[in-house]
Amino acid sequence: MRMMRTFLFLGLALVVTSVRAADSFPGGVFGQADGCRYAKTGESSGADDFLLIDRDAITTAVAVCQIKKATMEGASAAKLVLSCESEGESGDDEAATASLRNGAWTVRLADGTAFGPAKRCP
């Protein structure tokens, strides 16, 4: 009986952990074709439309924005705090919003810059 309770507890702990992981931004790896290829193989064609969004960063052909904080607002929106570097220059923390529509994330910085839409990588 005690062993059964232990397995039940471990099973519930795994379910709770899985649910939390699914609720975090972005909930997987998202990108455009070249970004997804890079996520899978580590190789990029150097395309100008490179976009990859994962739990650590938003990476484009010209900028990398580290995700310092992500607060989910429901299943399809998030408020982000990013630290972006572009062409050797780094900036201060920036506020951004992210929205999930039709299975693709779009991230918008306060200055109007938008990254996306980025669909879940296969």
56-64's contacts with Cβ under 8 Å and 24+ in sequence apart are: 58/82, 58/107, 58/115, 59/35, 60/115, 62/86, 62/87, 63/87
Q: What is the pTM of this model?
A: 0.77
69: confidence class by pLDDT, cuts 50, 70, 90: very high
Res 6 pLDDT > 60: no
pLDDT in tens, 7-45: 333 333 333 333 334 458 999 999 999 999 999 999 888
Distances, alpha carbon 4 to alpha carbons 1, 18, 104, in Å: 5, 21, 41
Question: Which pLDDT score is estimated for 23?
Answer: 56
All structural domains of the chain with their residue ranges: 2-120
